[in-house]
A and B are shown apart, each in its own frame.
Chain A
Amino acid sequence: MATLTIGLFSSLIGSMNYDFALKLADAAKDKGHTVNLWFSGNAASSPQKGQKHLKDYSHGEKPLRALIEKGVEVCTCEACSVARAVQKTTAIEGVKWNAMHWYLAKAYSSDRVLHIGGE
């Protein structure tokens, strides 16, 4: 089994990149791979908990919680998150908070890195 690290820079709402990344992470985990997920840029607003699931918009909280439950390691860029008013106290539990070197370190040990750029 391999290690996949996904760097996600797109916002939860505004494109389907976020939705795609979470589904890919889920599929890879189900196949038995180790999966790391890094949020930076606009993706760093997505660990906010209490997201309302409106049918016209992508929603991330429920699938993100499911990924964490499955053992996907999820980390957000702390600077990117706090700049978007997402605080640890109001964030989805289980999401790690770190800086960009976390992503590079995961890239180091990954068989594949999928870097999904932002808008």
Chain B
Amino acid sequence: MSDVKITFLVQRPPYKSENPKLATTHAMSYQVVEILLEDGQTITPALCYVGEGVLNCLKDQKAMETYGITSTEMHLKNCLLVDMDVYACKEDFDKYGIGEDRIIDADDMGADKKMQIVPFAKIQELMETSTHVMFF
């Protein structure tokens, strides 16, 4: 039994570049990675939003209406639905004046997981304890 932890760190705002969405899709792919691994080998992702990246976490994104594409919000909700750990930096939300009532949840989909609003120190700890860190 061997687990590899990967932190996906999103620093960029949504829709300005493709990167934030690629972070969610790459993280989400941990769900099927076992078909390429041996028995007992697992990958545990942690999806973290910092800096301008926390803007990905806002509710009510109108990506389909505006750009004709699936929203980052929908991707994030799917991540929560499959019980992925999703973290966002509290200090950065505070900096932008964003209250917790404006942050995505997947309650309407029946998800048990919530996005975890944590101090940056917690995100740094995740990075330090991960096998690999990927910056998006």
* Residues in chain A within 8 A of chain B (CB atoms): 7, 9, 40-42, 99-105, 107-108, 110, 113, 115, 117-119
The verdict on A113 contacting B132 (CB below 8 Å), with A104-B6, A104-B30, A108-B37 known, is yes
Contact of A103 among B26, B37, B131 (CB under 8 A): B26
Report yes or no: A100 in contact with B136, Cβ–Cβ below 8 A. no
Report if B36 contacts A (CB, 8 A). Answer: yes
Q: With contacts A100-B25, A101-B36, A113-B134 known, is A107 near B19, CB below 8 A?
A: no
Closest 5 CB pairs of A and B: A105-B36, A100-B29, A101-B29, A115-B134, A101-B33
- In contact, A101 and B17 (Cβ under 8 angstroms): no
Do A108 and B41 contact each other (CB < 8 Å), given the known contacts A41-B18, A101-B36, A119-B17? yes
Q: At the interface, is chain B mostly helix, strand, loop or mixed?
A: mixed
Contacts A41-B19, A118-B19 given: A101-B135 contact, CB under 8 Å?
A: no
Residues of A within 8 A of B29 (CB): 99-101, 103-104
The answer to the question of B4 belonging to the interface, with a C-beta cut-off of 8 Å to chain A, is yes
A104 touches B43 (CB 8 A): yes
25 A-B pairs with CB atoms under 8 Å apart are A9-B19, A40-B22, A41-B18, A41-B19, A41-B22, A99-B29, A100-B26, A101-B32, A101-B35, A103-B26, A103-B29, A104-B26, A104-B33, A104-B43, A105-B33, A107-B6, A107-B132, A108-B33, A108-B37, A108-B43, A113-B132, A115-B134, A115-B135, A118-B17, A118-B22
Query: Within the complex, which residue of A9, A99, A101 is in contact with B22, where a contact is CB–CB below 8 Å?
Result: A9
Contact of B18 among A100, A102, A118 (CB under 8 A): A118
Docked-complex contact A101 and B30, CB < 8 angstroms: yes
A7 to B133, CA, bound (A): 12
Cα A117 to Cα B4 with chains together (Å): 21
Contacts of A104 in B (CB 8 A): 6, 26, 29-30, 33, 43
Q: How far is the CA of A117 from the CA of B26 in the complex (A)?
A: 13
Beyond contacts A101-B29, A115-B133, A119-B17: 15 other A-B pairs, Cβ-Cβ < 8 A, are A7-B134, A40-B26, A41-B22, A101-B30, A101-B36, A103-B29, A104-B30, A108-B4, A108-B41, A110-B132, A113-B132, A113-B134, A115-B132, A115-B135, A117-B19
Provide the bound-state CA to CA distance between A110 and B55, in Å.
32
What does the 1/0 interface line of B33-51 toward A look like (CB < 8 Å)?
1011100010100000000
